Amino acid sequence: MALDRQKVRVEGLHCVDCVKSVEKTISKFAGVRSVSISFATGSMEIEYDTDEVSLEEIQRAVRRLGYGFLREEVEGERVFSLSNREFVLALLSGSFLAVGLLLALAGQDPGVLDLGGWQITLSESLFVAAMIFGGYFPARRTMTAIANKSFVMDGLMVVGALGAVLIDAFAEGAAILFLFSLAELLEDYSVERTRDSLRSLVDLKPKMASVKRGDAFVRARVDDITVGDIVLVKPGEQVSVDGIVRAGESTVDQSPITGESVPVRKGVGDEVFAGTVNREGRIEISVTKESSDTALSRIIQLVESAADRKSDTARFIDRFAKYYTPAVLLMAVAVAAIPTLLGQPFDVWFYKALLLLLISCPCALAISTPISMASSITSAARNGVLIKGGAYVERLEEIDTIAFDKTGTLTEGEMEVTDVIPLAGHSRADVLRVAASLECLSEHPLGLAIAELAGKEGVPLECVESFQSIPGKGLKGEIGGEPHLIGSDRLFETASNPLMDKKRSLERQGKTTVFVGKEGEPLGVIALADRVRGSARDAMLRLRSGGRYDLVMLTGDNEAVARRIAGQLGIDDFRANLMPEEKVGAIEAMSRGGRKVAMVGDGVNDAPALAAADLGIAMGAAGSDSALEIADAALLGDDLSKVPYMLDLGRRTMRVVRSNIVAAIAVKLTFAVLVFPGLVTLWMAVAIGDMGVSLGVILNALRLARVK
């Protein structure tokens, strides 16, 4: 046994029934272990025993059904091109139909064939030719489906055309099959536009890269690059791997992965992702992940699987269609038979039965939800948001409460200086000069923030001698021959009461304080606090507007810190001093109170809370395997403004889904009612009642790709 797994593309899948027909046909091959087709992407994954069946045999079977079969890396043919046989046959069908109609309308329609008294005119011959060309693929798919004991919608059209011939309506029979074949082409084109937006993510994956071999860089396939290799990326080139910058500096456009609008500065030690674009300088990258395991590869895999993860609405529609189609067939038989048995003209009621069959085709209803969800999920991914399935898109609309972790989510988890307060006789620059001179010799986060501020303000640093760290208290060193200190007030035997009062006041605001001075003589005090994330204020403002959402902050920090951050961001409800299990308890309490809660956190530390929420949203997940796995949705960057975008996208998607379902049902019911007074013709049933609705549903779903 030699098992092989292949991923190929099947073109021309314009409805869910097409997918089922192909899967059923291929699964009957000896040696085929599994076959699964994604309607959202048009991809087929197949596992088979190469000793029993070849990929070429499977390809021929797919093509016999009337669908295209392509390797994933091969570019497909255009829908409206002469290389597409369906387009060519539809063109011929339309040409014969048009000439036949012109002859019939002009009255120049001689008989060309006499079949035992039944004369076939030239126009009718042309209509028959139009039916043969227009009905070739639908008839072939119908016959294959019958052989597999399954059903496809093409069969309704074939039955409708044959029925039209039986009642001598050649022109209408030809119109049915031509319009159906044309509508299928338009539908294929529209569906492919949705799939192309998803495939554009795949196209971000680089194929080649410059990798170091010996003392030189050579071009190599990205799939052949291994962890530890060194890759060169020149200005304007796409980063081909996930890795760490080991040499050089540049700005990198990360928008294809994280949705960030502004390029990010990258230097030695910084992480870069495959699929991003190097804007300026040359950088060398040490590879940290295989090509199949990069952030981009994981995102593509998750988006593809998410597009086929059905929502509750989609599952309901599937169950509905399962019973709907047989019911329609029985109704059509009843409409043709019952009036005839009661003495009504057979041809009149047979015609009405054909109309009901064509109008009632459930294609539009079946694709209304999956095509909308696929469009929405792909649009989100292109904007730096990963949503793991249609069920979570539906849930976005239900959310009324959003809980945020503080550190690393609302704040950056990095300290910044908020206050520099000198004592009388000293200046702000004096305090910063001494503090930064001492702290630049330390790696403490508070020290880094002080040194950063001194650099920004152009404060010169002094030479420090006899430097020492005093555990639990601070730092000490000689500046200008005099001992200087920075740290807690315990370093200073006498601290002025006004300064201690100021220290207590600052700490009540949730700030951390450090004293600066000579031994026994404070020069001033510096206050620091966790830096609020730049995108947090705008995100909270947008979420508060309209009063749709309740905002809650959950943090393990003390109440003073929590109050300060909540006040800065306009969050009224906050819970402080929480352990991870207490965050879970807070979310469960809100859920028991009838709220639908989304939890936004930065990954591993918030995993229990993310899991407990109705919707878990992970921050900055592009570089985190665990965050991508844990959450129901993920912001691939650190931009909190994507939270209101995601919620808005969810609401819009569900509006589109509902409008698609309502429109499909309303149009079909209206046309079904109009059948009985004779206000609907066969071509109207196909062009408007069936394929017109399907196209409308698809085009409506495509609007979601424009949501920003």
Residue numbers annotated as active site: 405
Residues in CB range of 132: below 8 A, 6 or more apart: none
Q: Which of 99, 96, 93 is nearest to 183 (CA)?
A: 93
For residue 696 the two structure tokens come to: 């409308």
Helices 170-203/295-307 angle, 10° precision: 150
Q: What residues have CB less than 8 Å from 110, skipping those under 6 apart?
A: 121, 122
Residues in the chain: 708
- Whether 217 and 210 have beta carbons less than 8 Å apart is answered as yes
Rounded to an integer, what distance in angstroms lies between the CA atom of residue 415 and that of residue 287?
31
Residue with tokens 């019939």: 104
342 Cβ contact list (under 8 Å, min separation 6):
none
Tokens of 313: 């609405």
Q: How many CB atoms lie within 10 A of CB 532?
A: 17
Q: Give every CB contact of residue 541 below 8 A, 6+ residues apart in sequence.
A: 570
d(CA 50, CA 6): 11
Comparing C-alpha atoms, which of 201, 206, 220, 197 is closest to residue 272? 206
Q: Sign of dihedral through CA atoms 583, 588, 590, 595?
A: positive
Is 435 exposed, middle or buried (CB count within 10 Å of its CB: 0-12, 13-18, 19+)? buried
Question: Terminal CA-to-CA distance of the chain, rounded, Å?
Answer: 50
CA 129/CA 77 separation, integer angstroms: 26
CA angle 217, 221, 226 (to 5 degrees): 80
What percentage of the chain's residues is helix, strand, coil (to nearest 5)? 50, 20, 25
Angle between helices 154-166 and 122-147 (to 10 degrees): 140
What are the tokens at 703? 């609007």
Report the C-alpha gap between 681 and 543 in whole angstroms.
Answer: 51
